[in-house]
Structure 1
Amino acid sequence: MQVFQQVIQWFVDLGASVMLPIIFLVFGLILRIKPGKAFKSALTIGIGFIGLNLVIGLLTDNLGPAAEAMVNNYNLSLQTIDVGWPAASAIAYGTLLGSMAIIVGILVNVVLLLFGLTKTLNVDIWNFWHIAFTGSIVYAATASFALGIFTMITHSMLLYFMADKSAIYVQEYYQLPNMSFPHGSSTPGFLLALPLNWAFDRIPGLNKINISPELVQKRFGVFGDTTVLGFIIGIIIGLLAGYDVNNTLNLGVATGAVMLLMPRMVALLMEGLTPISEAASSWVQKRFPGKELYIGMDSALAVGQSSVLSASLLLVPIALLLAVILPGNTVLPLGDLATIPFMICLMAAVFKGDIFRTVIGGALYIVTTLYVASWAAPLITKSAIASNFDLGGNSSISVLSDGGAWTTILFSGLGITWLGIGFIFVVVLFALIYQSKIKGSKKIES
Structure 2
Amino acid sequence: MAIIQWFVNLGASVILPILIFLFALVLGIKPAKAFKSGITIGIGFVGLNLIIELLTKNLGPAAKAMVENFGLHLTSIDVGGPAAQAISYGTVLGSLAIPIGIILNVVLLLTKLTKTLDVDVWNFWHIAFTGSLVYMATKDFALGIVVMIIHMMLLFLLADISAPLVQKYFGLEGISFPHGTSLPGFLIALPLNWIFDHIPGMSKIKITSSTIQKRLGILGDSTFIGLIIGLVIGFLAKYPVDKILQLGVNTAAVLLLMPRMVSILMEGLTPISEGAGAFVKKRFPGRDLYIGMDSALAVGQEAVLSSGLVLIPITLLIAIVLPGNKLLPFADLAMIPFLLPLMAAVFKGDIFRTILGGLVEIITCLYIGSWVAPFVTMAAKAANFKIQSGSSVSTLTEGGLWTTLLFVGIGKLFTWGGVIVIGILVLLAMIWQSKRSKTQSQA
Q: Is the 8 A contact 1:168 1:442 kept in 2?
A: no
Please name the residue that 1:135 is paired with: 131
| 1:393 shift after superposition | 6.2
| 1:206 shift after superposition | 1.2
5+ residue gaps, structure 1: none
| 1:352 shift after superposition | 1.0
1:46 matches 2:37: no
Q: Is the 8 A contact 1:82 1:397 kept in 2?
A: yes
Q: Give secondary structure in 2 for the equivalent of 1:183.
A: coil
How has the CA–CA distance of structure 1 residues 392 and 337 changed in structure 2, closer, same or farther, with 3 Å as cutoff?
farther
User: Residues of 2 paired with 1:16 and 1:382: CA distance?
Assistant: 25
1:369 matches 2:365: yes
1:280 matches 2:276: yes
User: Residues of 2 paired with 1:400 and 1:107: CA distance?
Assistant: 30
| 1:98 shift after superposition | 0.9
Please name the residue that 1:407 is paired with: 403
Please name the residue that 2:294 is paired with: 298
Structural mapping, 1:4-153, within 5 Å: 5-153=1-149
Please name the residue that 1:420 is paired with: 418
Identity of aligned residues (%): 63
| 1:382 shift after superposition | 1.8
After the TM superposition, which of the residue ranges 386-395 and 8-17 deviates more from structure 2?
Answer: 386-395
5+ residue gaps, structure 2: none
1:437 matches 2:435: yes
| 1:286 shift after superposition | 2.8
User: Residues of 2 paired with 1:272 and 1:441: CA distance?
Assistant: 33
How has the CA–CA distance of structure 1 residues 267 and 370 changed in structure 2, closer, same or farther, with 3 Å as cutoff?
same
Q: Is the 8 A contact 1:64 1:334 kept in 2?
A: yes
Q: Paired residue for 2:187, among 183, 186, 191?
A: 191
| Paired positions, count | 439
AA at the equivalent of 1:204: P
Please name the residue that 2:164 is paired with: 168
Q: Is the 8 A contact 1:415 1:424 kept in 2?
A: no
Q: Is the 8 A contact 1:120 1:164 kept in 2?
A: yes
If the length of structure 1 is used for normalisation, what is the TM-score?
A: 0.96
Q: Is the 8 A contact 1:90 1:389 kept in 2?
A: no
If the length of structure 2 is used for normalisation, what is the TM-score?
A: 0.97
| 1:8 shift after superposition | 2.2
CA deviation profile, 1:415-436 (whole Å, cap 9, x unmatched): 3300011000100010111100
AA at the equivalent of 1:340: I
CA deviation profile, 1:362-416 (whole Å, cap 9, x unmatched): 0111000111111111111122222221225661111111110001111111233
User: Residues of 2 paired with 1:114 and 1:196: CA distance?
Assistant: 35
How has the CA–CA distance of structure 1 residues 366 and 441 changed in structure 2, closer, same or farther, with 3 Å as cutoff?
farther
AA at the equivalent of 2:318: L
| 1:42 shift after superposition | 1.3
| 1:7 shift after superposition | 2.2
User: Residues of 2 paired with 1:413 and 1:362: CA distance?
Assistant: 23
Q: Is the 8 A contact 2:226 2:306 kept in 1?
A: yes
Backbone CA RMSD of aligned residues: 1.4
